[in-house]
Amino acid sequence: MIAAPSRTKKVMIVGDGAVGSAYAHSLITLDIADEIGIIDLDRAKAHADALDLRHAVPYAPVAAKKIYAADYADCADADIVAITANAPAAVLDGDFDRLRLLGKNVSVMTSITRSVMESGFDGIFLVVSNPVDVLTRVVAAASGLPPSRVIGTGTLVETSRMRTILADYLDLHPANVHGYVLGEHGESAFTAWSNVSIGSLPIREWMRHNAGAYGIAPFDELDRRVREIGFDIFRGKGNTSYGVAGGLARVTTAILRDENVILPVSAHVEDAYQIRDLYIGVPVVVGRAGVRELVHLYLDDDELAQYARSAEILRASYDSVRDAVDR
Ligand SMILES: NC(=O)C1=CN([C@@H]2O[C@H](COP(=O)(O)OP(=O)(O)OC[C@H]3O[C@@H](n4cnc5c(N)ncnc54)[C@H](O)[C@@H]3O)[C@@H](O)[C@H]2O)C=CC1
Ligand SMILES: CC(=O)C(=O)O
């Protein structure tokens, strides 16, 4: 018997800027989606980008790809809608304070979410736009979808930065660095050092065995670099794109291939880590239905206190726009 062809995997991207187009390119080169629709306020730009992306297809793993400038109606049967839009006036500079973008981006998020839902969309939202934890909660509230189907990129990018910085420090491949940065995607993000391991050896043990080579483990200094390095990139090229696009592509793969892989994303925490009813960076199992379950790490008291601080910041930030979302 001939197997039935598998269903088309369809991803829509709303916001065709540096992040949206880097994500689209990742989807093509990694062969994750069959159909990619791109929506932007500037339709001519979305059309041009779609054409350019199609010219990457002949050199990609498979030939058949539908890539086009799309309308909201095209979201109806999409598996995933990724929101990477940013209001033109929401400029991230100076102190790299993502929370400052909230006032400008909240109405963009509610209007995009409503337009997507009016199409009849019944898939999974992935949110990247900043401040991502607060805006993921905005999208969840405006869409009315179950929290398991609204996911933000959260601390995926900080986790990647931590793994890379630590791997450089230890002269290892980042694939050997395991662990997570948790909390707000922003200034209060923190590395859960109590859970970081090199191979299967806890980082503190690794440092003890290799004290001669590294001296005292500079955890605070490494943590500071994790928070600052995005700013260095921003100063150099005016945006950050490939890191988060890679993380977004990783979540997309986990969903479309039903991988049930653990990723540190912005997910809804019902009641864990002394945090209740909040979107925040947390490790969860991601598969075809979105978030399957939350992972309960053992954190030390200092880490729990840092988590509480992040949660407080995000709660206050959401409360400041709650009325605009409920309208
Ligand atoms: N969560 C994370 O780890 C990261 C988040 N970001 C955030 O992602 C967002 C996008 O960043 P970039 O791509 O660099 O911005 P960008 O300015 O290059 O692109 C934004 C795009 O959104 C479009 N847009 C604005 N309003 C729209 C609307 N209502 N409907 C459709 N399209 C709309 C604009 O026309 C523009 O093409 C920003 O909020 C940025 O801060 C960026 C990097 C990492
Ligand atoms: C822009 C941003 O949020 C980042 O690169 O971390």
pLDDT score of 91: 83
pLDDT score of 214: 64
- Measured between alpha carbons, how far is residue 163 from residues 116, 160, 185, 232, 289 in Å? 35, 5, 16, 17, 28
Q: Is the CB of 86 within 6 Å of ligand 2?
A: no
pLDDT score of 3: 53
pLDDT score of 326: 76
Q: Tell me the two tokens of residue 34.
A: 């069959």
Burial class (CB in 10 A: 0-12, 13-18, 19+), 199: exposed
How far apart CA 51 and CA 32 sit, in angstroms, is 19
pLDDT score of 37: 97
Residue 142 CA, distance from chain mean position = 19
Domain coordinates in residue numbering, the chain: 10-152, 155-326
pLDDT score of 213: 66
pLDDT score of 65: 78
The residue nearest atom 42 of ligand 1, judged by CA position, is: 240
Say whether domain 10-152 belongs to CATH 3.20.20.140.
Answer: no
Buried b (16+ CB within 10 A) or exposed e, 94-130: eebebbbbbeebbebbbebbebbbebebebbbbbbbb
pLDDT averaged per 10 residues in sequence order, the chain, 327 residues: 69 98 96 95 98 93 84 98 94 82 95 98 98 98 98 98 94 96 97 96 88 70 93 93 98 98 98 98 98 98 98 97 83
Pocket of ligand 1 (CB under 6 A): 14-20, 39-42, 84-87, 92, 101, 108, 112, 128-130, 132, 153, 157, 185, 239-240, 244
Q: Is the CB of 130 within 6 Å of ligand 2?
A: yes
Cis peptide before 202 (omega within 30 of 0): no
282: nearest Cα among 201, 192, 209, 197: 192
| Residue 74 among known ligand-binding residues | no
How far apart CA 112 and CA 142 sit, in angstroms, is 10
pLDDT score of 212: 64
pLDDT score of 218: 82
Q: Work out which ligand 1 atom sits closest to the CA atom of 19.
A: 13
pLDDT score of 4: 56
How far apart CA 87 and CA 107 sit, in angstroms, is 9
Catalytic site includes residue 268: no
pLDDT score of 92: 83
How far apart CA 259 and CA 252 sit, in angstroms, is 10
pLDDT score of 207: 86
CA angle 33, 162, 316 (to 5 degrees): 85
Q: Work out which ligand 2 atom sits closest to the CA atom of 132.
A: 3
CATH class of 155-326: alpha beta
